[in-house]
């Protein structure tokens, strides 16, 4: 079980696999008013930076689940590096349908709403692991500027303009699902730069080390096209945020 290899290549040097920066991640932890002993479940936990840094800074305990063997290994190493391996555990596995045996105060699907087939299904899945009165975290893209055409939307790696909502419409959608939005932390363009541009040096170094790999041509194509595509489309049109929700 693993994610497509191209993501393990392009994001192998990332600690955070979305456009939020370490500073914004710290802001989110403080905004949630986390306390020592709070249990956090993170489905699609990547390289574990959220759980590890919050365990260090707030004393939380938690579990992360991710399909990437590489990212799960990196998460375990990060826990050791930050001295929190006794408080957080990382499971290499499929987060789809995962329900924790122990109820959490925070259940997160940050940039991973595919685990529930979309936002509504992911909220329902996370609730199954959540204690009464707990907080759901959803990380989701939204349109900063509404693309004028579907062609522009595809430049943002969406299929069509209808794939994402504007920020007001996204917040309204949470309300319609019966949730109160109790906090949000939004990525900025610097966060997008750190997420996207950091891939380019990783790809170049990988190509130098693996010129004959079967994916070398694909990686070369991405390295050639991604800077202009990103600057033209994603950086200008696409936002991303983490939204804290509580069921009414």
Of the candidates 129, 92, 89, the one whose C-alpha atom is nearest the C-alpha of residue 109 is 129
What is the secondary structure of 171-192 as a DSSP string? HHHHHHTTEEEEEEEE--HHHH
What is the secondary structure of 7-30 as a DSSP string? HHHHTTT-SSSSS--HHHHHHHHH
For the chain, how many structural domains are there in total?
Answer: 1
Contact at 8 Å (CB) between 44 and 111?
A: yes
Q: What is the model's pLDDT at position 43?
A: 98
Chain centroid to CA 179: how far?
20
Query: What is the pairing mode between strands 238-247 and 179-186?
Result: antiparallel
- What pTM does this model have? 0.95
The parent domain of residue 75 ranges over 5-146+163-188+239-247
* 50 lies in some domain: yes
Q: What is the model's pLDDT at position 1?
A: 81
* 233 lies in some domain: no
CA distances from 207 to 68, 71, 204 (A): 21, 20, 5
Look up residue 140 and give its DSSP letter: E
* 153 lies in some domain: no
Contact at 8 Å (CB) between 172 and 243?
A: no
* 214 lies in some domain: no
* 106 lies in some domain: yes
Is residue 59 packed enough to be buried (19+ CB in 10 Å), middle (13-18) or exposed (0-12)?
A: middle
Tokens coding 168: 């007001």
* 193 lies in some domain: no
Print pLDDT tens along the chain (248 aa): 899 999 999 999 999 999 999 999 999 999 999 999 999 999 999 999 999 999 999 999 999 999 999 999 999 999 999 999 999 999 999 999 999 999 999 999 999 999 999 999 999 999 999 999 999 999 999 999 999 999 999 999 999 999 999 999 999 999 999 999 999 999 999 999 999 999 999 999 999 999 999 999 999 999 999 999 999 999 999 999 999 999 99
Separation of alpha carbons 207 and 219, rounded Å: 7
* 83 lies in some domain: yes
CATH of the domain at 74: 3.40.50.150
Q: What is the model's pLDDT at position 118?
A: 94
Tokens coding 97: 């349908």
Q: Bridge partners of 140?
A: 241
Q: What is the model's pLDDT at position 96?
A: 95
Q: What is the model's pLDDT at position 174?
A: 98
Of the candidates 52, 40, 56, 47, the one whose C-alpha atom is nearest the C-alpha of residue 17 is 47
Contact at 8 Å (CB) between 78 and 48?
A: yes
CA distances from 89 to 26, 55, 79, 185 (A): 20, 11, 8, 25
* 52 lies in some domain: yes
């Amino acid at each position: 079980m693993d994610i497509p290899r191209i993501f393990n290549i392009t994001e192998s040097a990332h600690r955070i696999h979305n456009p939020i920066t370490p500073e914004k991640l710290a802001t989110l932890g403080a905004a949630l008013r986390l306390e020592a002993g709070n249990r956090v479940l993170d489905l699609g936990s990547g390289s574990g930076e959220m759980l590890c840094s919050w365990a260090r800074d707030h004393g939380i305990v938690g579990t992360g689940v991710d399909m990437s063997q590489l990212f799960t290994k990196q998460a375990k190493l990060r826990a050791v590096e930050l001295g929190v391996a006794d408080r957080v555990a990382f499971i290499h596995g499929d987060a789809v349908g995962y329900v924790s045996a122990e109820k959490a105060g925070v259940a997160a699907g940050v940039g991973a709403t595919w685990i529930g087939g979309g936002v509504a299904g992911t909220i329902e899945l996370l609730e199954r692991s959540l204690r009464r009165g707990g907080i759901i975290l959803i990380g989701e893209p939204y349109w900063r500027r509404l693309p004028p055409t579907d062609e522009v939307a595809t430049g943002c790696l969406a299929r069509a303009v209808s794939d994402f909502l504007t920020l007001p419409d996204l917040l309204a959608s949470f309300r319609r699902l019966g949730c109160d939005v109790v906090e949000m932390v939004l990525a900025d363009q610097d966060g997008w730069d750190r997420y996207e541009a950091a891939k380019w040096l990783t790809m170049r170094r990988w190509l130098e080390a693996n010129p004959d790999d079967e994916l070398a041509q694909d990686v070369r194509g991405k390295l050639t096209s991604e800077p202009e595509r990103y600057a033209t489309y994603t950086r200008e049109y696409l936002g991303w945020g983490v939204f804290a929700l509580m069921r009414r």
